[in-house]
A = this chain, B = another copy of it.
Amino acid sequence: MTYCVGMALKDGLVMVSDSRTNAGVDQISVFRKLTTWEVPGERVISLCTAGNLAVTQAVVDMVSKGIILDDEDEPVSMMTVGGMRDAARLVGKALRQIEKQDGEVLRQQGVEVNSVFLLGGQVKGGRMSLFHIYAAGNFIESTEQTPFFQIGETKYGKPILDRVVDYDLGLDDAVKLALISMDSTLRSNISVGPPLDVLTVRRDALTVEMRRVIEEDDLYLKDIQKRWGRALRSAFKRIPPMPPEGEAL
């Protein structure tokens, strides 16, 4: 399983991904699910993947090497694509090619192509954007009203996002929020696990601001886990019990 969360905020982009891959409970590995293409001053594009690893790796490989996007003669890759919307179409197109090539054989084996992506970044001359690319290869873009997307095991970590996320949240706060959301997921689903990949890109900087790998024994992650657990328990204690029927609060 996977959990990735991406936010496109006023100040820029935050993407956080786990890196546990499992095929059954006795075949668990670490695979990075966050890939970044960067030409400082020119482009930063980052892709989070969830789903069948053979499919998502093939997509990453195709968009790295380049494919023919429309009727152009030259293949387009993440390093040459002209804007973020075309980058999203590139991922969608790669996914559809893999579906065409492998879909039927995979389904015969009981495997679905069924992979989804978060794509965020900015290309010089365009604006920063974040897309959620569906298994069908189509996609939606985030907005100021809905500035985050999640893929994979999304539910455990959604309530805190729903309550705190805001387009005006600073990048530091957004990283903290993504890690708290990730922590709720780690606790409740053992198939989501560290190391965690964290990326921030400030709007219009066209370069990665921070890229970090947070290991299981990372002190900040442990500190968040401890503080958040304690804060929830203490918030719980402070809420009064339900008054008897008919009595005021």
Using a CB–CB distance below 8 Å, which chain A residues touch chain B? Answer: 155-160, 162-164, 172-173, 175-177, 179-180, 184, 187-188, 198, 210, 212, 219-220, 223-224, 227-229, 231-233, 235-236, 238-243, 245, 248-249
A227 to chain B: closest residue by CB: B239
Whether B232 pairs with A164 at a CB distance below 8 angstroms is: yes
* Contact pick for A236, options B180, B223, B238, CB 8 Å: B180
Whether B249 pairs with A177 at a CB distance below 8 angstroms is: no
Whether B163 pairs with A232 at a CB distance below 8 angstroms is: yes
Whether A172 pairs with B239 at a CB distance below 8 angstroms is: no
A-B contact list, 30 entries, CB within 8 Å: A155-B155, A155-B188, A156-B156, A157-B159, A159-B159, A159-B187, A160-B236, A162-B187, A163-B187, A163-B229, A163-B233, A164-B232, A164-B233, A173-B241, A175-B241, A175-B242, A176-B242, A179-B242, A212-B245, A220-B242, A224-B239, A227-B235, A227-B238, A227-B239, A228-B239, A231-B231, A231-B235, A231-B238, A231-B239, A232-B235
* Contact pick for A160, options B212, B232, B241, CB 8 Å: B232
Bound-state CA distance A229–B155 (Å) is: 17
Whether A164 pairs with B236 at a CB distance below 8 angstroms is: yes
Whether B239 pairs with A176 at a CB distance below 8 angstroms is: yes
Task: Give chain B residues whose Cβ lies under 8 Å from the Cβ of A179.
Answer: 242
Task: Give chain B residues whose Cβ lies under 8 Å from the Cβ of A163.
Answer: 187, 229, 232-233
* Contact pick for A235, options B175, B219, B228, B241, CB 8 Å: B228
- When all copies of this chain in the complex are counted, the total is 2
Task: Give chain B residues whose Cβ lies under 8 Å from the Cβ of A236.
Answer: 160, 164, 173, 176-177, 180
* Contact pick for A220, options B177, B229, B243, CB 8 Å: B243
Bound-state CA distance A188–B245 (Å) is: 28
The 10 closest A-B pairs by CB, nearest first: A231-B235, A155-B155, A172-B241, A159-B184, A220-B242, A227-B239, A158-B188, A163-B232, A164-B236, A155-B156
* Contact pick for A239, options B159, B180, B210, CB 8 Å: B180
Whether A159 pairs with B156 at a CB distance below 8 angstroms is: yes
Bound-state CA distance A228–B240 (Å) is: 11
A187 to chain B: closest residue by CB: B162
Task: Give chain B residues whose Cβ lies under 8 Å from the Cβ of A242.
Answer: 172, 175-176, 179, 198, 212, 220
Shortest Cβ distance from A197 into chain B, in angstroms? 13
Task: Give chain B residues whose Cβ lies under 8 Å from the Cβ of A210.
Answer: 245
